[in-house]
Structures are given as C-alpha cells and as structure tokens.
Structure 1
Amino acid sequence: MARYHIETYGCTSNRGESRAIESALRDAGHYRAEGPETADVAILNTCTVVEKTETNMLRRAEELENETTDLIVTGCMALAQGEAFADIDARVMHWDEVPQAALNGECPTPGPGVEPVLDGVVGILPIARGCMSNCSYCITKHATGRVDSPSVEANVEKARALVHAGAKEIRVTGQDTGVYGWDTGERKLPELLSRICAIEGDFRVRLGMANPGGIHGIHEELVEVFADNEKLYDFIHAPVQSGSDEVLEEMRRQHRVGKFREVVDTFDRELDYWTLSTDFIVGFPTETEADHELSMDLLREVRPEKVNVTRFSKRPKTDAAEMKGLGGQVKKNRSKAMSELKREIVGEVYEGMVGDEREVLCVEPGTGDSVKCRDSAYRQVIVQNASEWGVEPGDFLDVEITTSQTMYAFGKPV
C-alpha cells in the first residue's frame, strides 16, 4: 500500500474530484502521509482561473518535485495546459487516471467482503477476493490472500440486483478477474460475463483488471464472449508491467512478453474496435537501460489506447524492498520518457476519433455542466453543456466527436 499526499486548488468541482481520488486510494488500501516528503506519491490538483494562479501552480509543482520521489499533476491547468509542466518531472493526467497511477503496479485492494455497490448509475461488482500471483513488489497479497470465488450464480444474482436498482454500467472488479474460479478448478470468467450480459435490461458491462497470465489460457474463449455481446465494452485491462522477460521474472509475474502479445493479437484479430489498457512499472531495482528500452519498444509496438506508467517504489514486507534500488534520477528519467511516449500514442488515438459518430453511455457528472460518457470501447467522451442538451447520467445517445484532448474526446449530441 502507498502513502499519498494530495493538494487541491480551485473550485468546489476540483475539491470534489480530489475527494473521489482519495476515496479510491483509501478503498485500494493506501493512506495519507504526513506531508510530501514522507509520501510515495504526491498529487497536485491544479486550477487555471487566472495567470497569477497558473504561476502559483507551476511554482508549487516545482517545489513538490523536489520534496517527493513521484509527482502526479492533474486538474484544470494540467488538462488545459499540460505542456506548461514539460520541464517538471511529473506525470500529467486526467483525474480519473490518478488512483490507478498511484497503485505502484499492485492489484487493487477492496474492503472486506465482495458485496456490490451502486454509485449513481454505476454498479461495482467484486466477483472474487484475492489473487493467484506472488509478485515480488506487491504488498496487496498480504491483505487479500489467495483467490476466493463465489459461484457464477451468486455473482449473476448480484449483477441482476444492481440492474434492477438502476445500474446502467456494471464494473466487474477483483484483484485479478482473469483467475476467477481458479480456486474451484474451473476457468469461469467467460461464463460469468456471458450470463451477466444475458440479464434483461439496457446496460453495459466493463471487465476490470485481468493479469495477462490469468487470461492467457482463456483468451480465445474470452474474445468470443466480447464479440457476441454488445453489452460488454470491448475493453481489457491487462497490465504487462515490463517489456523485458528478465525483469518480469524478477517481478515474479505469471506471464512473459510472448503471452501478453498473444492475448493482444487475438483481440486485434477478432475485434475491429477495442481498447487495450496496460500498465508499466519503470525503475524496478533490476531494470537495466536495455530492459527499459525493451519496454519502450513494446509500448511503441502494441500502442495501447490507455497506459498507466508507475515509477517503482518499495513496499514494506515485499521481497523487492530488499533489493538494491536504482537512483531516483534514473527512475525519473525513465518515467518521463515513457510518459511522453504514452501521451503521444494515446493522444493520436483520441485525435483519430474526431469526425466519427459514436453511441455513448453517459456515466457520471463531469466538470461544470458536462457529463462523462463511454463509447463501445470504453473510451471517454465528454459532452459539454449537458443541461442544454437535456443529457444526464444513465442516458444513451449518439454523438459526433468534435475535438480531442490527450486522454479523452469531446462529443456533440446528434
């Protein structure tokens, strides 16, 4: 679990985003540090109202850069003028990306139990607790243990209850959804997703994080489920973590790069329009410059539509904590290089959507008078002036993609 420091500037909306970030971090087992100097990651939620404010934001970012080992900059100035932070060693990203970026490559750690939660029109459905991995850098396994999978029928009933309660998007979650059912001797994820999609109603389903080693043995069957069900977002989150097999071995990951590529190639072959989300850890203690270049090469080759770049930090009670670490500047340089490549790749994805028409589901309120929506591949589309259009969370609508930012697009109802 990570220690975080968060600072928020600006309006009530920004403060609300910070509360959501903190809530997600706490739910994942992280906790607030006493200050930036004792934090594993510092988060600066910026404002961009006037020029003086922007100057203050840049100055504070420079101060935090020197006070912490890892800095994330988000908020209005980061999204509107991300290039202003180019000379600062920080990861610039959308509010929604911050909790995952702070996870240090670890699995998410929900609270006790696996009970569903309805948040607005979003239903959170934990399908199991625990995982089957033993990653050398991850402390989550100490909190969750081995995977414990409720039956398919039990999870389907929970999903049905969420739909009946008003859920329009069901997020299937777990430490590693790909190993659902392993403890019972069966690979049950494809069956579970098919049966959830068969529930009567107009809603969408998003599959949460599935490690490449967990889904590799079922990826052929799994992609058929995606192809056959319109309710299922064509989106997978498969964290590769490194492009080097040697580093993956030191991390004790259950996959190697070849398995990851096979999963990606299968989805590429069977789905015309889909999103790959993946994670990279940079600066693992045994990562050489050549290993880092292999990760950069893999990122260029696979070109995922969503990428989480995490700078390695040691966690207590993990084997990686005993390894001799790399220098802070080495990790910063590699993180900055990969983050720049990520922004280039993801920016091209959203720029390429401009001019297209997409059906989207409005999922939650955005900043000001806007709503955040998702298209069939779970790519984020912002509809501005939502009240003028009469649009609110839970609505399905067709939009024309008009413009884009690095991490999302803007759409106008048609």
Structure 2
Amino acid sequence: MARYHIETYGCTSNRGESRQIERRLRDAGHHRVEGPGEADVAILNTCTVVEKTERNMLRRAEELGEETADLIVTGCMALAQGEQFRDAEVDADVIHWDEVPEAVTNGECPTTTPDAEPVLDGVIGILPIARGCMSDCSYCITKQATGKIDSPPVSENVEKARALVHAGAKEIRITGQDTGVYGWDTGERKLHELLDRICDIEGDFRVRVGMANPKGVHGIREELAEVFAENEKLYNFIHAPVQSGSDDVLGDMRRQHQVSEYVEIVETFDEYLDYWTLSTDFIVGFPTEEDEDHAQSMALLRETRPEKINVTRFSKRPGTDAAEMKGLGGTKKKERSKEMSELKMDVVAEAYDAMVGETHEVLVVEEGTGDSVKCYDEAYRQVIVQNADDHGVEVGDFVDVEITGHSTVYAFGEPV
C-alpha cells in the first residue's frame, strides 16, 4: 500500500474530484500523509484560471517533484495545458482525474478489508465478491495484507447484488483483489456463473467487472466472453493487467501468466463481441527490464490496442522481493514511461475518435464539472454530457446520445 500526499487548487469541482480520488485510494488500501517528504507519491490537482495561477502550478509541481519519489499532476491545467509541464521538464505523470487511483497502485491489486460489505454511493453499488488472490507477485505488498482467495458462495453475492438494486443501484461494480479467480478456493471457477445470475436480477441496471488478472481469465475466457455476449446488463469491459510484454520480465514479476495467454484472451473477446473495451496495465522500469523487454511491451500495446491503459513507473515496496533487486535509474524509467505514455495517448485517442458520429446508450452515473454529467456507454467508455439541465438529464438516467467529439480519454455526447 502506498502513502500519498494530495494538494488541491481551484474551485469546488476540483475539490470534489480530489475527494473522489481519495475515496478510491482509501478503498484500495492506501493512506494519506501530511507532507510530500513522507509520501511514496504526491498528487497535484491543478487550476488554470489565470496566467498567474498557471505559473504557480508549474512552480509547485517543480517543488513537489524534488520532494517526493513520484509525482502525479492532474486537474484543469493538466488536461488543458499538460504540455507546459512537459516543456518545463517537470518529472511527473500528467494524467486525467479518473486515472489517478490506478496510477498510484504500482500494479498492485486493490485491498479489500476483512469486513468489506456492499456500499451504495449515489447510484453506484460497490460489491466486493471475495477477499485475497492466488498470486504472489514479487513487487506487490498487498498480498501481505490479504492472503489467499476467500470466496463466499455465489448465492450470497447474488443476494447482496439484489439488495443493492433494490436500494437504487443503477450500476454494480464487482470488486476484489482478483475477480478472475473467484471460486478457485472451492475448486471451481465461478465468475461467469456469478455474473450470469446477477444479470438475472429484475431491474434496469448495469454491471462492471473489476480487475481480473490474465491467468484467472484465461482458463474461463470462452465461458466469460459468452456470458458478456448474452447479457446486455454487463458492460462489455474487462480489466486484465498484463504488466509487461516480455515473458522474461513476467517471470521475474511472478505474474503466473504469459504474454500469449493475454493475447488469447483478447482474441476470444474479439470473437464474441463487436464493441468492447480492453483495459490493461503496464509497469515500466521493473528492475530486470532490459531495452528489448521494453520494446516487447511497446509492441504488445500496439498489437492489442487497449482502449484504457494504466502506465506506472516501478517503485519499490518495503518487504517485497522486488525491493531487494538492483533497480534501474530514474532517468531510464522516466524515458520509458514517457515513450509508452505517448503511445498510450495515441491508442486511446484513436478509439474515442472512432466513436464520433455514432449513437450509444449511456448510463448517467454522477455529476461532473459545472452543468455536466458523467456517463458510461455499453463498453464502459466515459461520455460527458454537457448542459445536462437543459437536456433534462439526471443521474441514474439511461440516455441515447450522439458522440460529437472527444478529449482523448473520454467522449462528448449530445442526447438524441
């Protein structure tokens, strides 16, 4: 788990975004510290209202970059003028608000507390389906807190999902350290059965499946893809973190899967689904990553073209085996991260650009900045609807929208 320091500048909307970021970080087992010097990562949520503010943001980013191991810059200036941080050679990841929690995790699994119960947050229902995982990744400290997978019965999780729907949930987010290995401790792979039964619950809602490591998904990829194809309530979305395009590095990470298995998962979902979102993670600069290994990761990104990509520079976690390895220099990690992040933006922008002119049904899940709302389409791609009041669009609504444009990592939609 990481120690984080967060600073927020600007309007009430920015403060609201920071609260959401912190909520997701706490849910993943990370904890806040007061000063950047004590933190593993510092988060700067920026404002860009006037030129003086921009200069202050650049100066503060430079200061934080010198005071902490890793810096993440997000917020209005990061989105509108991210190139200014790069031109100033600020050593930071400049990313969208929604990407911050994943960037902090260093490739680790989320942490579910022993007494985790379903939570209704607005119209979003959070359903932890199990605790623990079956992996033993050499860089991950989460395993020390969670242990092996412990899967409640399918019927128990279905009843929890039913209670969330009856309480008003329009979106159920299936969570866990590794949803793909749900049921392994009982001798059966049950994720596809669980999803099928949740989708049988009466009501108008959507279901999103949380992180599932490729090893667990690979063994049930046909069954899982078939369940996705048969159930409209399921967002056509999987988050399968590959972490590297090199089998040698995956071996050193003790990731259990090979690159070929990840590719087979992608090919299977391509066969069953015409429109879906692949989300994955890459750890850049693992201690044993050579230039050729990095090149293989870049090639895998180009080949599979995930629509959502989390790029994280490796950092050591105390008590892990990877912390004992001789690490790569910060400059090399920064260069590789920059190269992959630039490719990532090209790949993601291409996916959202292809949506322009199409009509999609979206679910409005929460309020956005100003008079906008955040929505997700059937493939869990984020769509922003502006002037929501004028359109009579409210949180919890299902709306048909025409995609009119995009801002690289999300689309803009106009109700039709």
Greater CA drift, 35-44 or 209-218: 35-44
**Match for 1:155 among 149, 154, 157?**
157
Which residue identity does 1:284 align to in structure 2?
F
| Structure-1 residue corresponding to 2:265 | 263
- Between the aligned partners of 1:22 and 1:182, the Cα distance in structure 2 is 31
Query: Does the residue aligned with 2:400 lie in a helix, a strand or coil?
Result: strand
**Match for 2:280 among 278, 281, 285?**
278
1:67, CA displacement in angstroms? 2.5
**Match for 2:393 among 375, 391, 405?**
391
- Between the aligned partners of 2:243 and 2:205, the Cα distance in structure 1 is 32
**Match for 1:226 among 225, 228, 237?**
228
| Structure-1 residue corresponding to 2:26 | 26
Which residue identity does 1:253 align to in structure 2?
R
Greater CA drift, 236-245 or 380-389: 380-389
- Between the aligned partners of 1:311 and 1:18, the Cα distance in structure 2 is 22
Greater CA drift, 14-23 or 303-312: 14-23
- Between the aligned partners of 2:228 and 2:14, the Cα distance in structure 1 is 36
| Structure-1 residue corresponding to 2:17 | 17
CA contact (8 A) 1:219 1:266 kept: yes
TM-score normalised to structure 2 length: 0.98
1:328-347 to structure 2, matched below 5 A, reads 328-347=330-349
Greater CA drift, 387-396 or 35-44: 35-44
1:113, CA displacement in angstroms? 2.1
Deviations 1:336-388 (A, max 9, x none): 11111111111111122111111100011111111100000000000111111
CA contact (8 A) 1:69 1:328 kept: no
Structure 1: stretches of 5+ with no match in the other structure = none
Computed over aligned residues only, the root mean square deviation of the Cα atoms, in angstroms, reads: 1.1
CA contact (8 A) 1:171 1:205 kept: yes
1:142, CA displacement in angstroms? 0.7
Structure 2: stretches of 5+ with no match in the other structure = none
- Between the aligned partners of 1:348 and 1:66, the Cα distance in structure 2 is 34
Deviations 1:127-182 (A, max 9, x none): 00000000000111111110000000000000000000000000011000000000
Which residue identity does 2:14 align to in structure 1?
N
Moved over 4 A (4+): none
CA contact (8 A) 1:114 1:127 kept: no
Greater CA drift, 98-107 or 50-59: 50-59
1:397, CA displacement in angstroms? 0.5
Percent identical residues: 78
Greater CA drift, 286-295 or 83-92: 83-92
CA contact (8 A) 1:133 1:253 kept: yes
| Structure-2 residue corresponding to 1:351 | 353
Which residue identity does 2:107 align to in structure 1?
G
Query: Does the residue aligned with 1:249 lie in a helix, a strand or coil?
Result: helix
Query: Does the residue aligned with 1:81 lie in a helix, a strand or coil?
Result: helix
| Structure-2 residue corresponding to 1:209 | 211
1:126-275 to structure 2, matched below 5 A, reads 126-275=128-277
| Structure-1 residue corresponding to 2:83 | 83
Greater CA drift, 309-318 or 76-85: 76-85
Query: Does the residue aligned with 2:101 lie in a helix, a strand or coil?
Result: helix
CA contact (8 A) 1:89 1:336 kept: no
Which residue identity does 1:109 align to in structure 2?
T
1:34, CA displacement in angstroms? 4.1
| Structure-1 residue corresponding to 2:328 | 326
| Structure-1 residue corresponding to 2:64 | 64
Greater CA drift, 56-65 or 296-305: 56-65
CA contact (8 A) 1:194 1:225 kept: yes
1:321, CA displacement in angstroms? 0.9
CA contact (8 A) 1:3 1:33 kept: yes
| Structure-1 residue corresponding to 2:41 | 41
CA contact (8 A) 1:90 1:336 kept: no
Which residue identity does 2:390 align to in structure 1?
E
- Between the aligned partners of 2:280 and 2:103, the Cα distance in structure 1 is 11
- Between the aligned partners of 2:316 and 2:120, the Cα distance in structure 1 is 34
| Structure-2 residue corresponding to 1:108 | 110
Which residue identity does 2:38 align to in structure 1?
T
Greater CA drift, 256-265 or 327-336: 327-336
TM-score normalised to structure 1 length: 0.98
- Between the aligned partners of 1:126 and 1:265, the Cα distance in structure 2 is 28
Which residue identity does 1:407 align to in structure 2?
V
1:114, CA displacement in angstroms? 3.4
| Structure-2 residue corresponding to 1:6 | 6
- Between the aligned partners of 1:217 and 1:57, the Cα distance in structure 2 is 48
**Match for 1:404 among 385, 403, 406?**
406
Query: Does the residue aligned with 1:86 lie in a helix, a strand or coil?
Result: helix
Greater CA drift, 316-325 or 84-93: 84-93
1:389, CA displacement in angstroms? 1.3
Which residue identity does 2:80 align to in structure 1?
A
- Between the aligned partners of 2:86 and 2:362, the Cα distance in structure 1 is 33
